[in-house]
Amino acid sequence: MKSSTLPFILQALLAAICFGASAPVAKLLLGDISPVFLASFLYLGSGSGIALTKLASRKTEAAISRADVKWLAGAIISGGILAPIILMVSLQNTPASTASLLLNFEGVSTTFIALLFFKEAISRRAWMAILIITLASIFLSTDFASGLGLSLGALGILLACILWGADNNFTRNISGKDPLAIVAWKGLVAGTFSFLLAWFLGNPFPSVTTIIGTLVLGYLSYGLSTFLFIRSMRGLGAARTSALYGTAPLAGVLLSIVIFGEYPSAFFIVAAILMVGGALLLINEEHLHTHFHTAIIHEHSHSHDDSMHGHDDAQGTHSHEHQHPAEGHEHDHMPDIHHRHGHEE
């Protein structure tokens, strides 16, 4: 693990902890709120909380441009509207501890979408980690009590993860822009849509106490988590950042034991070990080879004392449109915002 990637790894792990706690707490709230209203207030809590955080922030970031809108819209529809509603409905018939582990399939789906549609470079070591997490997800999505049939609740969670995988890749394309603005827009638009849908469907309106609890959970598990996730993608790319979500079940499992007394089965323990092992493989990955950068013009927050921004016309961290000339060289790197080239391992 290189020191240059450590901050991005820590951000991904902290994001995983915040998100991992969401499944058991959300399941607890489902006794007092309908699934669609729950999805709505989770995202409204995310959007409004992050919007307030942005107002208090003095950090300079690149603004969202007109060219970014299509990626932001795709992220809102797939990950902000469809995925959470499907997840909340599926949680009604799925143990919270199992749901917490199944949410790791988001990393697998993100990786395949990144590879197939966005040509993100993935090493053999990363592939091994992805396969391990996939195997663990198969363990958890099989309903052994009724033969080899699949649990509908588990399949629903996997579908939500695929939609979040699409969301992650859409967001990766704008990860260089202001992450607070991205999360705020996603939360407020998706939350408002889900609120209107729940109202139209005639879902009973929850109590004020339940609404406040859901808003707080949304800010921590969706808002803060997504903000850290976007920051991490700047340095690690979509596939590796998502795969580090393999640590998310630890928070979910601990809370499930405390809240519901759901002690893990043998299959559950095997799946947990596999998922944590997959995450450790990625943490210790090294990525070095000769590569060629094409000339690009883009905008993102940066300073002028690093290896990629060696001009000296300003001081401190700031944002402006700048150009990187074409060059070929060799150094340790990840598929960050300056290394999104395809290559053979």
pLDDT at 237: 81
pLDDT tens string, the chain, 345 residues long: the values are 556 778 888 898 898 888 888 878 887 888 889 999 999 999 999 999 999 999 988 787 888 999 999 999 999 999 999 998 998 889 888 887 677 678 778 878 888 898 888 877 777 887 888 788 777 777 766 656 654 456 788 889 999 999 999 998 999 889 888 999 999 999 999 999 999 999 999 999 999 999 999 999 999 999 999 999 899 888 888 777 877 766 676 677 777 777 777 777 777 788 778 877 887 787 776 655 454 545 555 454 545 555 554 555 555 565 545 454 555 545 454 454 444 444 444
pLDDT at 298: 46
**Domain carrying residue 136:** 6-286
- Report if residue 330 sits inside a domain: no
- Report if residue 137 sits inside a domain: yes
**What is the value of pTM for the model shown?**
0.71
pLDDT at 50: 95
CB atoms within 10 A of CB 2: 13
pLDDT at 250: 67
- Report if residue 308 sits inside a domain: no
| Domains: count for the chain | 1
- Report if residue 340 sits inside a domain: no
- Report if residue 129 sits inside a domain: yes
- Report if residue 101 sits inside a domain: yes
- Report if residue 207 sits inside a domain: yes
- Report if residue 173 sits inside a domain: yes
